[in-house]
Amino acid sequence: MFFLKELPSSEMIASVTADVPDVDPEHVQTVLERLRSASVLLRDIEAFLRTHALSQTQFLALMMIAREPERNSLSAVEISKRLDVSKPVLSKTIGSLMDKGLLAPAKEQPVDQRQKQLSLTEKGQSVFTNVLPGYFALLGGAAM
């Protein structure tokens, strides 16, 4: 997250970037503004998801499984190819989703015994279905 409330003035950006070759101060200004909007939106999304007792990562993990075409389960390693978090974080995320009863081991386990196939429970399906419209409404309403 980018935590500045007030962005640096154009004058300050211009004076600082003057020392740095090949940097366009106006582009820097644009990038800073977008970082700020993205951070604000991400906070709003987190606050919204928290009202459903989900973190952003938990929600995205549910989405990866729910929206996988042709299948209703994924292994952790498959989720981690779609979700950009470290392995331990994914492991903990899956653990907390299982504790909440939103995720469970899939009925059909893979031959490779190192993997754990995971699918949404009924509760997981229904929570995801409830949250999704609000999530996209936030994305759609964002001024970026």
Contact footprint for a copy of itself (CB under 8 A): 1-6, 8, 12-13, 16-17, 19-20, 22-24, 27-28, 30-32, 34-35, 37-39, 41-42, 56-57, 60, 63, 67, 81-85, 132-133, 136-137, 139-142, 144
The one among 13, 28, 65, 116 contacting DNA by CB under 7 A:
116
Q: Which candidate, 47, 51, 43, 42, places its Cα nearest to that of 127?
A: 51
Residue closer to DNA by CB (options 72, 75) is 75
Return the closest-CA partner of residue 128 out of 35, 68, 58, 70.
Answer: 58
Cβ-based neighbours of 121, under 8 Å, separated by 6 or more: 101, 102, 103, 104
DSSP 69: T
Residue 14 binds which one of a copy of itself, DNA, none, with CB within 5 to 8 A depending on kind?
none
The amino acid at 120: L
How many CA atoms lie within 13 Å of 26's alpha carbon, on the beta-carbon side?
0
Residue 71 binds what, of DNA, a copy of itself, none (CB under 5 to 8 Å, by partner type)?
none
The single-letter code of the amino acid at 102 is: L
Instruction: Decide if residue 39 touches DNA (CB under 7 A).
Output: no
CB of 54 to a copy of itself, least distance (A): 14
Query: Which CB, 116 or 135, lies closer to DNA?
Result: 116
Choosing from 13, 80, 106, 119, the residue that interacts with DNA (CB under 7 A) is 80
Query: Could you say which of a copy of itself, DNA, none residue 58 binds, taking C-beta under 5 to 8 angstroms by partner kind?
Result: DNA
Residues 6+ apart with CB under 8 A from 86: none
